[in-house]
């Protein structure tokens, strides 16, 4: 795609022009429109990198994560992993992809089967991929339990005997069982209390170093994403409006939406008084998104051109891309 | 002298459950003055929501027992009759809840619900109530309220519903507003709109506000005074600035350090409070935070500290706060503020 | 190698300890549930009566004694005798085996069939329409009429009563299973399994099935009770267990003709049916409370 950049390293994962439209039906089952949940999103991820995908609810960040993993089939676009489009994989190769790309979910309560022992939940992943003998599988599960901070005897406990933070650690252990190279973390700490949140974030960082993992970290919490991500993509209404390395994004946000988003986060520090950019109105419906730039209905800098032309995401600095007419 | 609106004195709330008696709130003290926002902050299970519900006595009367005093303008709400309570609820003290969807009745229009609550407490006819409802909706920043008033809750977005809830809560111009996690279910940009709104209306009506939240950011933005709770007890009470710059209680300190920051060094590992909050069935007999506290000694494990006056505007429940505070390193918050 | 053995030994100790803990908790919860305890006491009494009753019955349930017709309850015949002079106590006791046996087998068969149909209907949307419309069709007939029609087609035999009642009741079980399975299917852990590449069989049988067992067991208890009633009704109408075999329904049928002369012929089998059904329903209600996870939490 980009000719001017010479890739030093082949990206681990490349998402190209991903689109996902969900049909909307009326009460008679007739399709009356489409929710444009993800609308032409592209980005790539390097080995061992944490890519943060941020935005508010309904911006399509979770759908993007799920579509990358092919839990949802895309409407258009491709995701290249190891040189192959994962939407065309079948059989053995599909299973390999399913092994190497794992996911950690938001809700620590519904993401573990209440009728199964913790050990069996972790072992199931190995069984699905037919890895190891019974004894080997058990040993691996025990090792993994120790790694995420449990004692071996927790093997026989049921999920309801654990707290939210502990369950989330089990969810992480499940994803780690089969040596993945990339884990999609869908709001992994939003359901947790602050003190527990820090435990889980630290664990994610530790295992990242140990296993050389890449994370696609989907979250609405900017301070969490700032802490963990190397690069960040900001999404609004199904589109990626800005993409930059973390420090640069926070030091110098360019897109008006990113600016507003950053200024809206309440800081846990009463000494800092900031100028807050309050956005007017509400996020428009993704069934019928605004023409031109999707943000123009709420943008304090919108001009005529914003209503007509869709801004293209372009690099304004080597790693800093923004989709906004102000920077053309 | 500002008027003392609400005074909670040693509130204890007990539940009788299948598994025995449980004390969800065990020693809560705080005072709210007119025009002041008091933040009640703590993690899930610390009893902050139960405290809010106890103030209005919204808990099941059969299985709940209260102790202590909740004085509203000097009158103890815990000894009031049901009728007196109903006159207070919604009229003098209003409450808004976390989930704006389930706190609105889906089968009535938002207008119907606001009008109902106005007519319940005020001597007005239906037409006046409608006009009042439209005025309240306009006040909360809902565009074209004449139209919106006829819509059903599901036709509104989360932020709009929370505005409706606020409009309803404020329709009788209460003296005291209890907001139980009012922005937790909302996005950040909507959250900042709602917080601004609450602040604005607070000044306009000179209301006292109790802001129940787990988000220290929200506390720092809107509160003047903070009460920190842990396992049913108030463990620290302070004005907001002192709390963030120099927390006395080790739990408050740990909590502040464990949140990722939007400014400053981000490569540092996050602080972790070891262990987890015990359940209410196994409350430690000494200081409740002792099993997780790095400074705990024998005394902490054996004897429960009382909430004591630490200096003029601050109270703390810790045996060692003086030593810890003097020995403790500079809080990162002061330096972060300087460098900003 | 040595360490692995030690570790395994340790772990199996832990496992048995945890199991014991869990069992004790379950027993405690069961004992604190009045409905379940009362229900199971009644059921135990009925079962004792079913299996031990015939031993105490000094008379053959089929033995005709013309001289002893329609005797009132007395020391010799504690439930009295019927219009052929057969001992009513021994007929009720033997009938219990037939009636309860029918209920039991119907409960088992409908559970298995209903589970399979319900799970697959929930998992595959294309199957759902076909299977559920089939169930709707069956459920559109009043249970008793459908049972009579099937009996008419199959002929009067005990096995056929079981088949007929199973056909009648399976749709109810399938519906229960399906609705629970639909909820489970939307849980995140099912999505997690799909993300890991798990196939449909693993998801359905290893992960969804154990979660629908509790509502299924509760439903099976009610089906048990319903089958006893429906069998009685079938036999009472003459479309059930063929005479002279004693079933509670047949006994009622016999009693019908002499209801004004011999109250005991209808009262005793009636009480037997009522007690059994009452016990089963109590037990089912208690079980539902026990197994419902919402009741496990401390009530506020």
Number of H-type helices and E-type strands within chain A:
10, 12
Interface A–C counts its CB contacts (< 8 A) at 76
Query: Using CA atoms, how far apart are residues C95 and C93, in angstroms rounded to an integer?
Result: 5
Band of the pLDDT at B329, cuts 50, 70, 90?
Answer: low
Q: Is the pLDDT of residue C298 over 60?
A: no
Is C298 in the B-facing interface, judged by CB distances under 8 Å?
Answer: yes
Query: Using CA atoms, how far apart are residues A261 and A279, in angstroms rounded to an integer?
Result: 9
Q: How close is the nearest chain C Cα to the Cα of A180, in Å? A: 11
Query: Using CA atoms, how far apart are residues B231 and B223, in angstroms rounded to an integer?
Result: 22
Which helix (DSSP H) or strand (DSSP E) does residue A232 occupy? strand A231-236
CB–CB contact A113 C196 (8 Å) = no
Region C4-32: mean pLDDT is: 79
- Chain A residues with CB under 8 Å of C187 CB are 110-111, 113
Give me the residue from B18, B59, B64 closest to C298, CB to CB.
B18
Query: Using CA atoms, how far apart are residues B116 and B97, in angstroms rounded to an integer?
Result: 18
Region B53-78: mean pLDDT is: 90
Interface B–C counts its CB contacts (< 8 A) at 15
Measured over the CA atoms of residue A66, residue A68, residue A69 and residue A71, the dihedral's sign is positive
How does the average pLDDT of chain C come out, rounded?
A: 86
Query: Using CA atoms, how far apart are residues A286 and A57, in angstroms rounded to an integer?
Result: 12
Region B134-138: mean pLDDT is: 89
Biggest distance spanned by C-alpha atoms of chain A: 68
CB–CB contact A129 C197 (8 Å) = yes
- Chain C residues with CB under 8 Å of A98 CB are 195-197
Region C4-17: mean pLDDT is: 74
Q: Residue A3: its pLDDT value, please?
A: 46
For C282, residues 6+ apart whose C-beta sits below 8 A from its C-beta are C35, C36, C38, C39, C42
Region B198-216: mean pLDDT is: 90
Band of the pLDDT at B1, cuts 50, 70, 90?
Answer: very low
Is C299 in the B-facing interface, judged by CB distances under 8 Å?
Answer: yes
Q: Residue B311: its pLDDT value, please?
A: 86
Band of the pLDDT at B327, cuts 50, 70, 90?
Answer: low
Q: What is the pLDDT of residues A170-207, one digit of tens each?
A: 999 999 999 999 999 999 998 888 888 999 999 999 99
Q: Residue A27: its pLDDT value, please?
A: 78
For A206, residues 6+ apart whose C-beta sits below 8 A from its C-beta are none
Q: Is the pLDDT of residue B85 over 80?
A: yes
Say whether A224 sits in a helix, a strand or coil.
helix
Band of the pLDDT at B3, cuts 50, 70, 90?
Answer: confident
First to last CA, chain B: 36
Percentage of chain A lying above the pLDDT 70 cut: 97
Query: A115, A117, A164: best mutation site toward chain C, by most C Cβ within 10 Å?
Result: A115
Chains contacting C (3 or more CB pairs within 8 Å): A, B
Percentage of chain B lying above the pLDDT 70 cut: 95
Chains contacting B (3 or more CB pairs within 8 Å): A, C
Which helix (DSSP H) or strand (DSSP E) does residue A215 occupy? strand A214-219
- Chain C residues with CB under 8 Å of B47 CB are none
Query: Using CA atoms, how far apart are residues C82 and C68, in angstroms rounded to an integer?
Result: 8
**Architecture in CATH of B4-229:** 3-Layer(aba) Sandwich (3.40)
The better pLDDT of the pair C284, B328 is held by C284
Contact by Cβ (8 Å): C67, C85: yes
Interface A–B counts its CB contacts (< 8 A) at 130
- A217-226, B169-178, C48-57: lowest mean pLDDT where? C48-57
Q: What ipTM describes this predicted complex? A: 0.85
Q: Is the pLDDT of residue B58 over 50?
A: yes
Query: Using CA atoms, how far apart are residues B226 and C209, in angstroms rounded to an integer?
Result: 49
Q: How close is the nearest chain B Cα to the Cα of A328, in Å? A: 26
Give me the residue from B157, B221, B334 closest to A266, CB to CB.
B221
Say whether B240 sits in a helix, a strand or coil.
helix
Q: How close is the nearest chain B Cα to the Cα of C217, in Å? A: 25
Q: How close is the nearest chain A Cα to the Cα of C239, in Å? A: 43
The better pLDDT of the pair A80, C246 is held by A80
Q: In this structure, what are the phi and psi dihedrals at residue B216, rounded to the nearest 5 degrees?
A: -65, -25
Q: What is the pLDDT of residues A122-179, one digit of tens each?
A: 999 999 999 999 989 999 999 999 989 888 888 888 898 888 889 999 999 999 999 9
Q: Residue A191: its pLDDT value, please?
A: 87
Q: Is the pLDDT of residue C299 over 60?
A: no
Q: Is the pLDDT of residue B331 over 80?
A: no
Q: How close is the nearest chain C Cα to the Cα of B131, in Å? A: 40
Query: Using CA atoms, how far apart are residues B170 and A153, in angstroms rounded to an integer?
Result: 54
Region B283-304: mean pLDDT is: 90
Domains (range + CATH), chain C: 35-55+68-296 (1.10.3720.10)
Band of the pLDDT at C6, cuts 50, 70, 90?
Answer: low
Q: Residue B312: its pLDDT value, please?
A: 86
Q: What is the pLDDT of residues C164-218, one digit of tens each?
A: 999 999 999 999 999 999 999 999 999 999 999 899 999 999 999 999 998 999 9
Q: What is the pairing mode between strands A182-186 and A214-219?
A: parallel
Q: How close is the nearest chain B Cα to the Cα of A252, in Å? A: 13
Query: Using CA atoms, how far apart are residues C118 and A125, in angstroms rounded to an integer?
Result: 26
Contact by Cβ (8 Å): C144, C161: no
Q: Decide: residue C155, CB within 10 A, 0-12 exposed, 13-18 middle, 19+ buried.
A: exposed
Q: What is the pLDDT of residues A283-303, one digit of tens each?
A: 888 888 999 999 999 999 999
Region A206-232: mean pLDDT is: 94
Contact by Cβ (8 Å): B148, B134: no
Chains contacting A (3 or more CB pairs within 8 Å): B, C
Strand order in the sheet with A182-186: A101-104, A182-186, A214-219, A50-54, A231-236, A239-245, A320-322, A314-317
Query: Using CA atoms, how far apart are residues A308 and B103, in angstroms rounded to an integer?
Result: 41
Query: Using CA atoms, how far apart are residues B274 and A3, in angstroms rounded to an integer?
Result: 50
C residues 58-77 lying closer than 8 A (beta carbon) to B: none
Q: Residue A2: its pLDDT value, please?
A: 45
Q: Which residue of C has its CA nearest to A67?
A: C195
Band of the pLDDT at B332, cuts 50, 70, 90?
Answer: very low
The better pLDDT of the pair B56, C7 is held by B56
Query: B14, B18, B22: best mutation site toward chain C, by most C Cβ within 10 Å?
Result: B18
The better pLDDT of the pair A198, B337 is held by A198
C-alpha pair distances (Å), C65 with each of A197, A308, C89: 83, 103, 15
């Amino acid at each position: 795609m980009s000719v001017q950049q010479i890739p030093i390293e082949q990206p681990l994962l490349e998402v190209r022009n991903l689109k996902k439209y969900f049909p909307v039906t009326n009460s008679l089952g007739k399709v009356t429109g489409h929710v444009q949940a993800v609308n032409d999103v592209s980005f790539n991820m390097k080995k061992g990198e944490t890519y943060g995908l941020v935005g508010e609810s309904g911006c399509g960040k979770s759908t993007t994560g799920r579509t990358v993993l092919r839990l949802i089939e895309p409407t258009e676009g491709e995701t290249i992993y190891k040189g192959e489009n994962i939407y065309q994989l079948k059989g053995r190769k599909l299973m390999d992809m399913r092994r190497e790309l794992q996911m950690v979910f938001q809700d620590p309560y519904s993401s573990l089967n209440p009728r199964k022992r913790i050990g069996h939940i972790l072992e199931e992943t190995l069984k699905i991929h037919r890895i190891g003998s019974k004894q080997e599988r058990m040993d691996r599960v025990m090792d993994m339990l120790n790694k995420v901070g449990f004692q071996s005897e927790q093997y026989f406990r049921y999920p309801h005997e654990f707290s939210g933070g502990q369950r989330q650690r089990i969810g992480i252990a499940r994803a780690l069982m089969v040596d993945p190279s990339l884990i999609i973390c869908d709001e992994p700490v939003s359901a947790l209390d602050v003190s527990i949140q820090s435990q889980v974030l630290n664990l994610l960082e530790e295992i990242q170093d140990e296993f050389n993992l890449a994370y696609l970290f989907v979250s609405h919490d900017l301070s969490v994403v700032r802490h963990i991500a190397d690069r960040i993509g900001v999404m609004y209404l199904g589109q990626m409006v800005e993409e930059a390395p973390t420090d640069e994004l926070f030091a110098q946000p360019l897109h008006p939406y990113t600016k507003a988003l950053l200024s809206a986060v309440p800081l846990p520090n009463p000494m800092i008084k900031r100028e807050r950019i309050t956005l007017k109105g509400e996020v428009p419906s993704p069934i019928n998104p605004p023409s031109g730039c999707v943000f123009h209905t709420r943008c304090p800098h919108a001009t005529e051109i914003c209503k007509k032309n869709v801004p293209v995401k372009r690099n304004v600095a080597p790693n800093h891309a923004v989709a906004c007419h102000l920077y053309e | 002298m500002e008027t003392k609106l609400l005074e909670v004195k040693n509130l204890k709330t007990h539940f009788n459950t299948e598994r025995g008696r449980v004390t969800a709130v065990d020693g809560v003290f705080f005072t709210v003055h007119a025009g002041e926002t008091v933040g009640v902050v703590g993690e899930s299970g610390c009893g902050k929501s139960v405290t809010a519900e106890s103030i209005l006595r919204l808990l099941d009367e059969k299985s709940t027992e209260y102790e202590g005093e909740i004085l509203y303008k000097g009158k103890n709400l815990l000894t009031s009759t049901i009728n007196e309570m109903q006159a207070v609820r919604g009229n003098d003290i209003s409450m808004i809840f976390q989930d704006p969807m389930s706190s609105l009745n889906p089968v009535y229009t938002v207008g119907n619900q606001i009008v109902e609550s106005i007519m319940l407490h005020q001597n007005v006819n239906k037409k006046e109530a409608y006009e009042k409802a439209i005025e309240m909706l306009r006040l909360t920043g809902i565009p074209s309220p004449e139209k919106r008033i006829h819509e059903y809750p599901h036709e509104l977005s989360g932020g709009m519903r929370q505005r409706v809830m606020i409009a309803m809560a404020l329709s009788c111009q209460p003296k005291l507003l209890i907001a139980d996690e009012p922005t937790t279910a909302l996005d950040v940009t909507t959250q900042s709109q709602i917080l601004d709104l609450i602040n604005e209306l607070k000044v306009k009506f000179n209301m006292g506000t109790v802001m129940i939240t787990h988000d220290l950011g929200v506390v720092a933005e809107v509160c003047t005074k903070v009460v920190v709770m842990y396992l049913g007890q108030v463990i620290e009470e302070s004005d907001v600035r002192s709390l963030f710059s120099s927390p006395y209680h080790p739990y408050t300190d740990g909590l502040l350090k464990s949140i990722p920051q939007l400014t400053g060094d981000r490569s540092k590992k996050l602080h972790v409070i070891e262990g987890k909050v015990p359940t209410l069935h196994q409350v430690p007999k000494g200081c409740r935070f002792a099993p997780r506290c790095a400074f705990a000694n024998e005394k902490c494990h054996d004897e429960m500290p009382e909430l004591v006056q630490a200096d003029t505007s601050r109270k703390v429940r810790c045996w060692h706060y003086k030593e810890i505070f003097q020995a403790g390193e500079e809080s990162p918050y002061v330096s972060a503020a300087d460098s900003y | 190698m040595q360490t692995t053995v030690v570790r395994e030994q340790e772990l199996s100790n832990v496992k048995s300890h945890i199991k014991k803990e869990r069992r004790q908790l379950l027993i405690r919860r069961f004992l604190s549930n009045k409905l379940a305890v009362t229900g199971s006491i009644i059921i135990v009494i009925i079962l004792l009566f079913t299996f031990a009753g015939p031993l105490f019955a000094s008379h053959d349930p089929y033995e005709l004694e013309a001289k002893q017709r329609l005797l009132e309850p007395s020391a010799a015949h504690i439930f009295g005798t019927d219009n052929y002079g057969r001992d009513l106590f021994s007929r009720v006791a033997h009938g219990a085996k037939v009636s309860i046996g029918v209920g039991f087998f119907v409960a088992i068969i409908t559970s298995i069939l209903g589970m399979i149909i319900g799970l697959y209907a929930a998992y595959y949307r294309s199957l759902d329409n076909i299977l559920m419309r089939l169930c709707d069709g069956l459920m559109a007939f009043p249970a008793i009429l459908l049972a009579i029609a099937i009996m008419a087609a199959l002929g009067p035999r005990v096995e056929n009563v079981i088949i007929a009642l199973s056909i009648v009741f399976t749709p109810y079980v399938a519906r229960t299973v399906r609705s629970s399975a639909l909820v489970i299917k939307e849980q995140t852990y099912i999505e997690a399994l799909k993300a890991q590449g798990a196939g449909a069989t693993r998801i359905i049988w290893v992960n969804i099935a154990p979660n629908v067992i509790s509502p299924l067991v509760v439903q099976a208890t009610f089906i048990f009770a319903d089958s006893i009633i429906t069998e009685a009704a079938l036999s009472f109408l003459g479309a059930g267990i063929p005479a002279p075999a004693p079933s509670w329904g047949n006994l009622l049928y016999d009693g019908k003709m002499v209801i004004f002369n011999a109250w005991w012929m209808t009262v005793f089998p009636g009480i037997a049916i009522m007690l059994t059904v009452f016990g089963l329903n109590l037990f089912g209600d208690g079980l539902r409370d026990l197994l419902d996870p919402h009741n496990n939490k401390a009530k506020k």
